[in-house]
């Protein structure tokens, strides 16, 4: 799947134009094919960077991309939404008509039915669910199609009449000084029609508040802040107008063992000082349910890392997995019995300084300064 434009440029979705421009210049200079003897991989990266910048530098294109993703720029419905949304648009102007929605339908002299509002849902996931992907069952309360009138807004099948205020145009004009100002009709609210016998359940809007349950597919590899768009699952439109979209924002629960850095899992692993000195093995529960055994080399120092390739998180919309990193923390004993103290005393008497070269070098430098 194509990479997100913001990820290509390495910026946040809230980045301002100057930040986007600076990121593009830096990456374009770094990946320009002329600097890499025409390397095909670098050329592909350069094209991806340029494509992302061309979209995000234009406020209107960026607004369309933020709302519809790359499907906004596919012609004839060729770019379907991975979560069941509608396909592409006939033209780029159709996108702006959907986004800025108050455009009049010039052919019919009236506005289209009002689109429903978009909704946001915050979903908290465990690290295990984010690794494997899951089917999330959520419950939302929003305006949905009125069951009593099937979204028409009236009791009869055909009870909408042309608005007498605007004559069906959906807009009215008023003189203000030297200017003629046009605005949406206050009687029909831009629809060009009025309901003669409004539905008592929805008061003529064709929608009412309802709680409903949804099952949403969460792909493997999602992370904190990942946004998933579910097309058409927002609020219902007025009198069978187009529905809004549902946006699911992912939040990660704290894991008892692992911290996450992208696709890398990091675990801080305390080991005894004897294990650090003599070597040994530690076992960690893998995120996929399998146990991972890591060999500790003799003489390892506190803070050193052991890396297990391919045992980390799934790659979102990609293949493979990240790495697992065990950060070793050497623990000094705080309670010793008399036998243990005696053994350590005997060991200290045999120390030459070569056992701990870093310590020996440090105190040698101190002596040189005294």
- Rounded distance between C-alpha atoms, residue 268 and residue 331, angstroms: 12
Regarding pTM above 0.85, the answer is no
Percent of the chain with pLDDT over 70: 83
Please check if 269 is assigned to a binding site: no
- Rounded distance between C-alpha atoms, residue 257 and residue 149, angstroms: 54
> What is the location of CATH 2.60.260.20 in the chain?
101-253, 258-369
CA 190 to chain centre: 35
pLDDT at 32: 79
Q: Which residue has the tokens 């802040």?
A: 225
pLDDT per residue as tens digits for the range 59-84: 888 888 887 777 666 544 333 343 33
Q: In this model, does residue 233 exceed pLDDT 60? A: yes
- Rounded distance between C-alpha atoms, residue 10 and residue 224, angstroms: 16
Per-residue DSSP letter, 362: H
Q: In this model, does residue 363 exceed pLDDT 60? A: no
H or E segment at 134?
strand 134-145
* Count of CA atoms in the C-beta half-sphere (13 A) of 62: 14
Q: What's the rounded mean pLDDT across residues 184-194?
A: 77
Please check if 55 is assigned to a binding site: no
Under a CB-based contact definition with an 8 Å cutoff, are residues 223 and 316 in contact? yes
Please check if 154 is assigned to a binding site: no
**More confident: 167 or 19:** 19
pLDDT per residue as tens digits for the range 247-272: 999 999 999 999 999 999 999 999 99
Other C-beta atoms lying within 10 Å of the C-beta of residue 139:
9
Please check if 159 is assigned to a binding site: no
Please check if 202 is assigned to a binding site: yes
Other C-beta atoms lying within 10 Å of the C-beta of residue 306:
18
Kindly list the distances between the CA atom of residue 233 and the CA atoms of 21, 91, 106, 139, in Å, as whole numbers in the listed order.
Answer: 34, 23, 28, 12
**More confident: 21 or 364:** 21
Q: In this model, does residue 145 exceed pLDDT 80? A: yes
Q: What's the rounded mean pLDDT across residues 229-240?
A: 89
Which residues share a beta bridge with 296? 280
**CATH code 2.60.260.20 for 101-253:** yes
Q: What's the rounded mean pLDDT across residues 150-179?
A: 79
Taking the CA atoms of residue 283, residue 287, residue 290 and residue 292 in that order, the dihedral angle to the nearest 10 degrees is: -30
Which superfamily does 258-369 belong to? Urease metallochaperone UreE, N-terminal domain (2.60.260.20)
- Rounded distance between C-alpha atoms, residue 39 and residue 32, angstroms: 9
Q: Which residue has the tokens 């289209």?
A: 112
- Rounded distance between C-alpha atoms, residue 300 and residue 279, angstroms: 8
Written as six digits, the tokens of 188 are 């029909």
Label residue 87 by pLDDT band (50, 70, 90). Answer: very low
Label residue 90 by pLDDT band (50, 70, 90). Answer: very low
The set of residues, in sequence order, having a beta carbon less than 8 Å from that of 64 and lying 6+ positions away, is: 72, 73, 92, 95, 96, 99
Length of the chain: 370
Residue-averaged pLDDT of the chain: 82
- Rounded distance between C-alpha atoms, residue 179 and residue 213, angstroms: 50
Kindly list the distances between the CA atom of residue 186 and the CA atoms of 112, 164, 193, 205, in Å, as whole numbers in the listed order.
Answer: 15, 11, 11, 15
pLDDT per residue as tens digits for the range 266-295: 999 999 999 999 999 999 999 999 999 999
Please choose, from the candidates 341, 345, 112, the residue with its C-alpha nearest in 3D space to the C-alpha of residue 238.
112
Residue spans of alpha helices (H) in the chain:
5-9, 17-31, 40-56, 59-68, 92-100, 127-132, 273-278, 338-350, 357-369
Which residues share a beta bridge with 71? none
């Amino acid at each position: 799947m194509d990479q997100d434009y913001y990820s290509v440029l390495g910026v946040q979705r809230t980045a301002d134009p100057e930040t986007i421009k600076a990121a593009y210049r830096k990456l374009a200079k770094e990946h320009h094919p002329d600097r890499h003897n025409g390397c095909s991989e670098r050329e592909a990266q350069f094209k991806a960077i340029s494509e992302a910048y061309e979209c995000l530098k234009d406020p209107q294109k960026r607004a369309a991309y933020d709302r519809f993703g790359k499907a906004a720029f596919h012609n004839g419905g060729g770019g379907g939404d991975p979560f069941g949304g509608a396909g592409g648009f006939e033209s780029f102007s159709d996108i702006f008509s959907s986004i800025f929605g108050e455009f009049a339908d010039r052919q019919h002299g009236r506005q289209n039915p009002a689109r429903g509002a978009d909704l946001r849902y915050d979903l908290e996931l465990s690290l295990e669910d984010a690794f494997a992907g899951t089917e999330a069952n959520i419950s939302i309360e929003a305006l949905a199609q009125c069951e009593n009138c099937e979204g028409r807004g009236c009791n009869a099948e055909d009870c909408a009449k042309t608005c007498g205020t605007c004559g069906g145009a959906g807009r009215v004009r008023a003189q203000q000084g030297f200017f003629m100002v046009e605005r949406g009709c206050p009687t029909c609210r831009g629809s060009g029609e009025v309901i003669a016998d409004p539905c008592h359940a929805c008061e003529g809007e064709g929608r009412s508040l309802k709680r409903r349950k949804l099952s949403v597919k969460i792909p493997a590899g999602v992370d904190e802040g990942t946004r998933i768009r579910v097309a058409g699952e927002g609020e219902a439109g007025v009198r069978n107008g187009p529905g809004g979209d549902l946006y699911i924002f992912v939040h990660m629960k704290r894991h008892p063992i692992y911290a996450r850095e992208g696709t890398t899992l990091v675990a801080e692993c305390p080991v005894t000082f004897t294990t650090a000195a003599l070597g040994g093995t530690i076992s960690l529960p893998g995120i996929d349910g399998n146990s991972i055994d890591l060999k500790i080399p003799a003489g390892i120092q506190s803070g050193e890392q052991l890396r297990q390739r391919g045992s980390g998180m799934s790659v979102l919309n990609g293949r493979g997995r990240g790495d697992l990193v065990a950060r070793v923390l050497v623990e000094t004993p705080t309670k010793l019995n008399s036998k243990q103290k005696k053994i350590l005393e005997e060991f200290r008497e045999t120390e030459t300084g070569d056992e701990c070269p870093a310590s020996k070098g440090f105190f040698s430098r101190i002596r040189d300064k005294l």
